[in-house]
Amino acid sequence: MNVMESLLTYLKSTHNDDFPPLHIGEAMGCWLYFTALAEEIPALETSLHTTTDKELVKLVNESKDLAESQLDALKHFMLKEGLPLSEIPAAKPESNSQDIPLGAKATNTEISNLISVKVASNIVMCSTNISQAIREDLGTMWLKFHTEKVLFGVKVKKLMQEKGWLKYPPTYYPPGAPHK
């Protein structure tokens, strides 16, 4: 992480504050990522009310905190730039996991895979936005978001492996290769 922090510090120190207006790709990237985060948070809240696994609850809370932090930073940026915000869904009400019928309750595997898929899609969106950003301030923000999601993704994968929730694709054996 020290390398990434150094890179971000360098990028921040080399840019000026005289930025051109956002181009349509930059604006669309902001709006789509904002929307993705806004939709992610209620799903995480629902997951918190479903699982009783202490480690998964900690991971869901960390995921929710990261999404809220990025959403807040992006909201301030978008408002400063005059970009409209998409609708933010209402927070989910508190509920007791024991009151949810088993057929309606998400399993820990489903919850962890939901988080994993959201992290992966967020990383792809950040990568796309980094590649489209002409403005240094915006590119730096996407790089920061990308790094945060990658580091969090490592934690997600580690817990999924430990708990047996990670789904592995079948092994590929090229034709003619020896099978072990």
DSSP state of 171: P
Residue 171 pLDDT class (50, 70, 90 cuts):
confident
pLDDT in tens, 3-31: 667 666 655 655 556 789 999 999 999 99
Whether the pLDDT of residue 174 is over 80: the answer is: yes
Closest CA to 116 of 71, 55, 159, 162: 159
Domain 23-88+104-163: give its CATH superfamily.
Ferritin, core subunit, four-helix bundle (1.20.1260.10)
Torsion of the alpha carbons at 110, 116, 153 and 85, rounded to the nearest 10? -120
Q: How far apart are the first and last CA of the chain?
A: 37
Alpha carbon separation from 69 to 72, 99, 123, 148, 149 (Å, rounded): 5, 31, 16, 11, 12
pLDDT in tens, 117-141: 999 999 999 999 999 999 999 999 9
pLDDT in tens, 46-100: 999 999 999 999 999 999 999 999 999 999 999 999 999 999 999 888 888 888 8
pLDDT at 19: 86
Domain boundaries, the chain: 23-88+104-163
Residues counted in the chain = 180
C-alpha 117/C-alpha 102 separation (Å) is: 23
Q: Over the chain, what is the mean pLDDT?
A: 91
Whether the pLDDT of residue 150 is over 60: the answer is: yes
pLDDT at 7: 63
pLDDT at 16: 59
